[in-house]
Chain A
Amino acid sequence: MATEAEIYGDLTEIFHDVFMRDDIKLSPELTAKGVQGWDSFKQIEIIMACEEKWGIKFNTRELDALRCVGDLATMVGKKIG
Chain B
Amino acid sequence: MTDLHWLPTIPDWRQRLKAIPSEPATAWDNAVALANARLNFVLTNALDETVRRVLPNGPETLATKRVRLAVLGSSTLAHLLAGIRAAGLRRGIWIDTYENDYGQYLQELSETDSPLHAFKPNAVLIALDAYHLTAGVTAGMDAETAEAALTEMQDRLREVWRLAREAFRCPIIQQAALPLHLSVLGQNEHRLPGSRAWFVSRLNAAMRAMAEAEGVDILAVDERATRDGIGKWHDTALWHRSKQEVSPTASPLYGDLVGRWLAAKQGRSFKCLVMDLDNTLWGGVIGDDGMDGIVLGQGSPLGEAYTAFQEYARELSRRGVILAVCSKNDEANALEPFEKHPDMVLKRGDIASFVANWSNKADNIRAIAQELNIGLDALCFIDDNPFERNLVRQELPMVAVPEVSDDPTGYPVALADAGYFEGLSVTDEDRERTSQYQGNKARDALKAAVTDLPSYLRGLEMQLIWKRFDKIGLQRIVQLINKSNQFNLTTRRYTDEDVIAVMADPDAFGLQLRLTDRFGDNGIIAIIIGRLQANKDLEIDTWLMSCRVLGRQVEPTTLNLIAAEAAKLGARRLVGTYIPTKKNAMVKEHYVRLGFTVMDSDAAGGNRNILDLAAFTPAETFIHVVEG
Contacts and interface: CB of A to CB of B under 8 A. Distances in A.
B42 A60 contact: no
Interface string A43-61: 0110011011000000110
Given A14-B42, A49-B42, A52-B40, A44 B241 contact: yes
Nearest to A59: B237
B237 A60 contact: yes
B584 interface: no
A53 to B, nearest CB: 9
Nearest to A17: B42
A68 to B, nearest CB: 19
Interface string B240-252: 1110100111000
B46 A20 contact: yes
B242 A41 contact: yes
Nearest to A49: B42
Contacts of B139: none
A20 B242 CA distance: 23
Interface in A5-44: 14, 17-18, 20, 40-41, 44
B41 interface: yes
Interface centre among A14, A44, A51, A60 (most CB of B within 10 A): A44
B237 A41 contact: no
A41 B40 CA distance: 16
Contacts of B50: 20
A52 B249 contact: yes
Contacts of A51: 249
Contact of B42 (A18, A40, A59, A63): A18
B42 A45 contact: yes
Nearest to B17: A20
A48 B79 CA distance: 13
A20 B43 CA distance: 9
Contacts of B248: 44-45, 48
B360 interface: no
Given A52-B40, A52-B249, A44 B46 contact: no
A2 to B, nearest CB: 20
Contacts of B49: 20
B238 interface: yes
Nearest to B249: A48
B79 A41 contact: yes
Contacts of A59: 237
B416 interface: no
The DSSP consensus for interface residues of chain A is helix
A59 B235 CA distance: 11
A79 to B, nearest CB: 15
Contacts, number: 40
A17 B240 CA distance: 26
A59 B46 CA distance: 26
Given A20-B46, A20-B50, A45 B41 contact: yes
B78 interface: yes
Interface residues of B, number: 20
A32 to B, nearest CB: 15
B45 interface: yes
Interface in B194-238: 237-238
B566 to A, nearest CB: 52
A49 B237 CA distance: 16
B242 A45 contact: no
Interface centre among B41, B49, B247 (most CB of A within 10 A): B41
Interface in B37-61: 40-43, 45-46, 49-50
B444 to A, nearest CB: 53
Contacts of A44: 79, 238, 241-242, 244, 248
A12 B106 CA distance: 42
B242 A60 contact: no
Contacts of B43: 17
Contacts of A20: 46, 49-50
Nearest to A19: B46
Contacts of A18: 42, 45
A41 B78 contact: yes
A48 B249 CA distance: 7
A36 to B, nearest CB: 14
B269 to A, nearest CB: 30
A48 B241 contact: no
Contacts of B237: 59-60, 63
A80 B585 CA distance: 59
A52 to B, nearest CB: 6
Given A48-B249, A52-B249, A60 B240 contact: yes
Contacts of B240: 60
Interface in B490-541: none
A40 to B, nearest CB: 7
A48 B242 contact: no
Contacts of B46: 17, 20
A48 B45 contact: no
Contacts of A48: 41, 247-249
A63 B79 CA distance: 19
A48 B49 CA distance: 19
Nearest to A18: B42
A6 B238 CA distance: 28
A63 B241 contact: yes
Nearest to A14: B42
A21 B249 CA distance: 21
29 contacts: A14-B42, A17-B14, A17-B42, A17-B46, A20-B46, A20-B49, A20-B50, A40-B242, A41-B78, A41-B79, A41-B242, A44-B238, A44-B241, A44-B242, A45-B41, A45-B45, A48-B41, A48-B247, A48-B248, A48-B249, A49-B40, A49-B41, A49-B42, A51-B249, A52-B40, A59-B237, A60-B237, A60-B241, A63-B237
Q: Which 3 A-B pairs have the closest CB atoms?
A: A17-B42, A49-B42, A20-B46
Interface of B: 14, 40-43, 45-46, 49-50, 78-79, 237-238, 240-242, 244, 247-249
Given A18-B42, A48-B247, A59-B237, 4 more contacts: A41-B78, A45-B41, A45-B42, A49-B41
